[in-house]
Copies of this chain bind each other. A is one copy, B any other.
Amino acid sequence: MSKFGRELIDSLKQAVKHAEGRKVAGMRVTVVEAPDVKAIRRSLRMSQQRFAASYRIPLATIKNWEQKRRMPDAPAAAYLRAIARKPKEVAEAVAG
């Protein structure tokens, strides 16, 4: 069996799974749209540095999110949602 042959078969298997309505492992389909980190931060009138410190997120990670180089994963997206809606409460909760 050639390498090409194996790859072709794998592709077909995935296609079949798709057709069956099953999910293909390793294929992530983003359902919810990405939270706009920059908008959230700006609405709080904070620099990236202060925002990062206030919510205990590494500065580099904030930068990645704002530049759309990385998408916040599910827990991070939830966290950002919480921050966007109750900035003060969350900041207090993580402080100290």
- Residues of chain A having any CB pair with chain B under 8 Å: 55-58, 61, 72, 74-79, 81-82, 84-86, 89-90, 92-94
A-B contact pairs, 22 of them (CB 8 A): A55-B78, A56-B78, A57-B78, A61-B75, A72-B75, A75-B75, A76-B76, A81-B93, A81-B94, A82-B82, A82-B90, A82-B93, A82-B94, A84-B93, A85-B92, A85-B94, A86-B92, A86-B93, A89-B90, A89-B93, A90-B90, A90-B93
Nearest residue (CB) in B for A83 is B93
Given known A-B contacts A90-B90, A90-B93, A93-B90, A56 and B85 have beta carbons under 8 A apart: no
Q: How far is the CA of A93 from the CA of B82 in the complex (A)?
A: 5
